[in-house]
Amino acid sequence: MPVALQAWLAWLTPRNTVVLFLLLVAVNLLAPFHADDYFQQLLLRGDSLLQRGGDGSLAGLFSFVDDNPQHRGQMQAYGVLPWFTAGDFYFRFWRPLAELSHLLDYRLLPGNAAFAHAHSIAWFLLLAAVVYRLARQTLGEDKKLLWLALAIFMLDGQHVATIHWIANRNALIAAVFSLAALSCHIHWRTSGRWHCLPLALLLLAASLLASESALAVGIYLFCYAVLLDRAGPRRGFASLLPYALLVTGWLLVYRQLDFGVGPAAGLYINPLHDPGAYLLAVLQRLPVYFAAALLPVPAGLSWGGGQWLSLLVVTISAVFMLAVLAAGRRVLASDRVLLFWFAGGVLSVLPVCSTLAQDRLALMQSVGMDLAIALLVYRLSWQPQRYAAMSLPFKSSLPALLLVIHLLLSPLHLLAGSWYMTLASHAIKDRALGLAANGELAGRHLLVLSMPIGEAVALLGIRRFYYYDLPASFLWLASDEQPLQWQQLADGRLQVHKPQGFASGHEAAFGEPCDGCFYPGRQIRSGAFVLQIEALQERRPASVLLTAPGNTLWLERYGQETLQPLN
């Protein structure tokens, strides 16, 4: 191993790692709120616009879209939902413990983004402590190995969005409690102390009340029962029965309260309603998550650049995954601890494969993969005799390569990603407030032909949070990923054509069109606007005739033009 890397490893004590981590993410404290954060802030301060709740949640902070037609119509009128949203598209989550954390923010420092960011960072530090305990329980007491595992996990650039996005704190809280439950389970199975079981169940219950992502810990419990339980797989499986009963009870209550996602295969796929679509999503997204865990590339690259780039990324990721598994099969088969963390990391993304691949959803995966990477580097560097008889590609240079990726490039990713998301959040806020001066939209209607989805659905929340006026209704026709063709007719109506069809690409996140959902001649009312479908492209509206109300301000492309009256 190069001397420089050895010196870098020697410097990365737990204290220095924590200090470095805080320096890398400190810029997040300067960031404003982002996306869903604004709507949660409005609910916390009791704003009557788009009110939620009354469904078993504490404040409706995660009741994003329900199946109430009146609520959906209101959200479409303000552009929070696009006009082509599928009729059975909804998703709302039961996360009371996560809601309590946001309520605490609001009680202590209302509307203060810096404090909320600091709160999320504190949860990540607590998570790092739990991961360190798990490393001690499974990897041994060698400080060199434990410090390496902690550094790789804390400096993982894949955690950028998880830490930055305040509304995503639920994943951090769920990871803390679910992994603490795993730690208690391991202590029970190794020491035989039965009092650890009720504590593990209590922690698991808390994690489920924070986020559905806690279900991923079931993968780690399963892998532990198969690979590491001292009583053997049969008794190991039997020890999982209390957890299975707890999760079953939670699911029954969850469904009784009508939380979950609708059958529309859009942003979220319901595996129970459409197992085929879910299986296809797993085949596409599992390799992407695998590649993102080992290489400094974001998982979102698989859907952020168009259909052909997506296909290319998924194909390369699948080939990479198969190559790694083939090359490392003998090493994994010979080392049960390594296999436990590796298999747990790879498979723990199965629950989140129900939605688009995103780094912010890979937190539970990163625990297993980062500990597996640390253990592999340690074995190859300080216990080379362990794999001496096994063929492994680049065996001599592999530790250095992994350390360069995960202790040099990954921290840079963490730093650059923190700056990027901070600057992007400021830019999104500034564009929303700079769209029109305060008072300019009062009593008027707003039309934007082409606008990024993320900014379109957040426009209302941002302007409302900063006490700017809102239009009487707001319509955005399409995202800016595909060009539009349009012309204004003599009677003032707009004829807009999208060759690939509306509700395609990223827009399909709001539900795939069903047979008969759209047809020529159908009229759709969105607030004060009326859209008449003229032609279809593979079940999707491809040409629409738009009737806008009087007193409408409009622009063709968001952020590049000045609002003008629509004549």
Percent of the chain exceeding pLDDT 90 equals 60
Q: 520 burial class (0-12, 13-18, 19+ CB within 10 angstroms)? A: exposed
- Rounded (10°) angle between helices 14-25 and 113-139: 150
501 contacts 538 by C-beta, under 8 angstroms: yes
Token pair, residue 260, equals: 């979950």
Instruction: Look up residue 548 and give its DSSP letter.
Output: P
The 3-state DSSP class for residue 466 equals coil
The reported pLDDT for the residue numbered 51 is 66
What DSSP line would sit under 275-340, residue for residue?
HHHHHHHHHHHHHHHHHHHHSS--GGGGTSS-HHHHHHHHHHHHHHHHHHHHHHHHHHHH-HHHHH
Q: Per residue in 497-510, pLDDT tens?
A: 998 888 887 777 78
In angstroms, rounded to a whole number, what is the distance separating the alpha carbons of residues 320 and 130?
31
Q: Which residue has the higher pLDDT, 362 or 264?
A: 362
Residue whose pair of structure tokens reads 């830019």 in the numeric block: 427
Of the listed ranges 241-250, 289-298, 470-479, 558-567, the one predicted with least confidence: 558-567
Please give the span between the terminal C-alpha atoms of the chain, in angstroms, as a whole number.
Answer: 70
Q: Which of 45, 64, 118 is nearest to 509 (CA)?
A: 64
- Rounded (10°) angle between helices 36-44 and 453-465: 30
Strands 529-537 and 523-526: antiparallel
pLDDT above 80 for 4: no
464 contacts 50 by C-beta, under 8 angstroms: no
Average pLDDT in the 212-235 region?
Answer: 95
Residues counted in the chain = 567
Contact residues for 540 (Cβ-Cβ < 8 A; gap 6+): 84, 500, 501, 502, 503, 504, 513, 518
What proportions of the chain, in percent to the nearest 5, are helix, strand and coil? 60, 10, 30
Alpha-carbon Rg for the chain in angstroms: 25
Strands 564-565 and 260-261: unpaired
In angstroms, rounded to a whole number, what is the distance separating the alpha carbons of residues 402 and 87?
47
Q: Which residue has the higher pLDDT, 229 or 356?
A: 229
Q: Per residue in 236-269, pLDDT tens?
A: 999 999 999 999 999 999 989 888 877 655 667 7
114 contacts 74 by C-beta, under 8 angstroms: no
In angstroms, rounded to a whole number, what is the distance separating the alpha carbons of residues 377 and 493?
65
Q: 116 burial class (0-12, 13-18, 19+ CB within 10 angstroms)? A: buried
Strand partners, 529: 526
Mean of pLDDT over the chain: 90
Token pair, residue 376, equals: 């592999």
Q: Per residue in 20-78, pLDDT tens?
A: 999 999 999 999 999 899 999 999 998 877 766 567 888 888 988 877 777 788 888 88
The 3-state DSSP class for residue 453 equals helix
The backbone torsions φ and ψ at residue 49, rounded to the nearest 5 degrees and listed phi first, read: -75, 130
